[in-house]
């Protein structure tokens, strides 16, 4: 079972940079092609920028051409949670960190094999641990 981190919104607001707070706690999004991890090719582990939970391995990252880092599967299914998102006049599947509830992005069914999924994730929702 995944760990659960509970903090008040005031605690998150004090601990996180403004852009990270906006995206992860207020369900914002960064502008396409602006994120620091969009074009990253380094090997390693992408973690939640709020709590450090491991989310995606670099070998599942692919260039979707959308302007956000994209992955075809999480490192462990129970590290993320999928939530129906009916905002902005459409229905999508929101992806959140299962440990702390941080908004990460959305998942779509137009990704590559082997899963056919595209986890479209905001760079500010991620930290990166480079592989040695």
Active-site positions read 120
Longest Cα–Cα distance of the chain, Å, equals: 44
Q: 3-state class of 68 per DSSP?
A: coil
Q: What's the CA gap between 34 and 30, in Å, rounded?
A: 7
Q: What's the CA gap between 4 and 81, in Å, rounded?
A: 12
């Amino acid at each position: 079972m995944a760990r659960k981190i509970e903090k008040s919104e005031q605690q998150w607001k004090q601990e996180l940079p403004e852009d990270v707070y906006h995206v992860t706690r207020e369900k914002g999004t960064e502008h396409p092609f602006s994120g620091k991890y969009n074009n990253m090719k380094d090997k390693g582990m992408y973690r939640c920028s709020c709590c450090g939970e491991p989310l995606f391995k670099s070998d599942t990252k692919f260039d979707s051409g959308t302007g956000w880092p994209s992955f075809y599967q999480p490192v462990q299914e129970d590290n993320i949670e999928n939530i129906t998102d009916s905002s902005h006049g459409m229905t999508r599947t929101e992806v959140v960190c299962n440990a702390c509830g941080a908004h990460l992005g959305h998942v779509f069914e137009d990704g590559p094999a082997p899963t056919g999924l595209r986890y479209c994730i905001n760079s500010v929702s991620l930290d990166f641990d480079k592989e040695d």
